[in-house]
Amino acid sequence: MNKAIVLVSGGMDSLVTAAIAKRECEKIYFLHLNYGQKTAKKELDVFQKIKEFYQPADTLVVEVSYLKQIGGSSLTDENIPVKDYNGSEEVPDSYVPFRNAHLITIATSWAEVIGADKIYIGAMEEDSSGYPDCRDSFYKSFEKTIDLGTKEETKIEIITPIIHKTKADIIQIGKELGVPFELSWSCYRNNDIACGKCESCVLRINAFKETGIKDPIPYEIEIDWEE
């Protein structure tokens, strides 16, 4: 039995990754993290809707308070505001130190208990914000580390199906797979409606524009989709 854990934040990338896992695996399990990010409530809300859509065999929602305690990111630290996108090449303030390692580590513990052999994560290396924990080499190395740190009989593969894709690519893939983009939430700001100006919104909007598809979610600012 082919069992896969999928990391589902509720953003566009994890949503398309969930659709890919659904197509490739017999049984899928959704893992969602509340790590004290400012948009935690919104993300949990969209996670529940995505879960209803894809009907995984089981879900695990975990509360991780320590990333907020540790701070150091505009996504978790109330003293660091979420900036508007400025196109800088540097690792942005929104980087949560080593966050994706926590996702993989929690998924690994769960996988070892339920006997899952795959972990899907929707990280993107090139077309993202330059976060170091989104690199392909990082996941390859992590897979080896898992093999060394778990039981002999535990074999876990980390699957990063969109790691070398662009955001425009995954919108295309998502469209082919019938992904409900209207359910996803990407904005870094804790608003009812996506701000359209933070780095996550800007990358998403630009990708939709590139594919010539109108993003089905509403934005606080007016966007010219014909541009």
The yes or no reply on residue 199 touching a copy of itself (CB under 8 A) is no
Tell me which stretch binds a copy of itself (CB under 8 A): 43-51, 109-117, 185-193, 214-222.
109-117
Choose, by CB under 8 A, the member of 101, 164, 193, 218 that binds a copy of itself.
101
The yes or no reply on residue 65 touching a copy of itself (CB under 8 A) is yes
Q: What DSSP line would sit under 108-145, residue for residue?
A: HHHHHHHT--EEE----SSSSS--GGG-HHHHHHHHHH
Are 151 and 162 in contact by the 8 Å Cβ rule? The answer is no
52 Cβ neighbours under 8 A, 6+ residues apart: none
The yes or no reply on residue 145 touching a copy of itself (CB under 8 A) is yes
The yes or no reply on residue 70 touching a copy of itself (CB under 8 A) is yes
User: What's the min distance (Å) between Cβ of 28 and a copy of itself?
Assistant: 17
Choose, by CB under 8 A, the member of 109, 164, 175, 190 that binds a copy of itself.
109
- Residue holding tokens 């854990």? 5
Tokens of 159: 């699957």
Tell me which stretch binds a copy of itself (CB under 8 A): 46-54, 70-78, 79-87, 178-186.
70-78
Choose, by CB under 8 A, the member of 1, 52, 69, 226 that binds a copy of itself.
69
Nearer to a copy of itself, 150 or 206 (CB): 150
77-116: burial string, b at 16+ Cβ within 10 Å, e else: beeeebeebeeeeeebbbbbeebbebbbebbbebbbeeeb
Are 142 and 104 in contact by the 8 Å Cβ rule? The answer is yes
Binding site for a copy of itself (CB under 8 A): 60, 62-67, 69-72, 91, 95-102, 105-106, 108-110, 112-113, 132-133, 135, 137-138, 141-142, 144-146, 148-152
